[in-house]
Amino acid sequence: MSENKLGKHEEGWDFKWALGAVGLCVVFAMVFHIPDYLAHEHFKVWNNITQSYSHGVKRTEFGFGYFYNEVYYTWINLTRDLVFIQQEHFARSLQGTSRPTAPPGVYGVQHDRCVLRV
């Protein structure tokens, strides 16, 4: 049970708050990744030699555009990464550990095409 501003107890208020927080995170995550979905498309090609499909991802016109490359990929992702890295660094400083905060390849190279053989 929790108390509201008037000091009265409300049943289930903590659950409603937690459910709202989870819902907000899910909506934010979906909206945040919309540019990624618009910037890439899936393709598959049949290979007669190996008798298998080659699956891949290629950039769309939106993926080569200014908004995706300059605004979303560079600034929005950089800001998000810095916020999470700073939070991790702060948590590690409280624990007294000095492990590197960013895994290798966080700011890796963008590729125009990725092909997986299945």
Domain ranges across the chain = 1-32, 40-117
pTM of the predicted protein model: 0.52
Non-local CB neighbours of 8 within 8 Å, separated by 6+ positions: none
54: closest CA among 116, 10, 100, 7?
A: 116
pLDDT digit string, tens, across residues 6-65? 555 556 667 888 899 999 999 998 998 899 889 999 989 998 998 999 888 899 999 999
- Could you tell me where the beta strands, DSSP code E, fall in 1-118? 2-3, 9-10, 40-47, 52-59, 113-117
**Single-letter amino acid, residue 9:** H
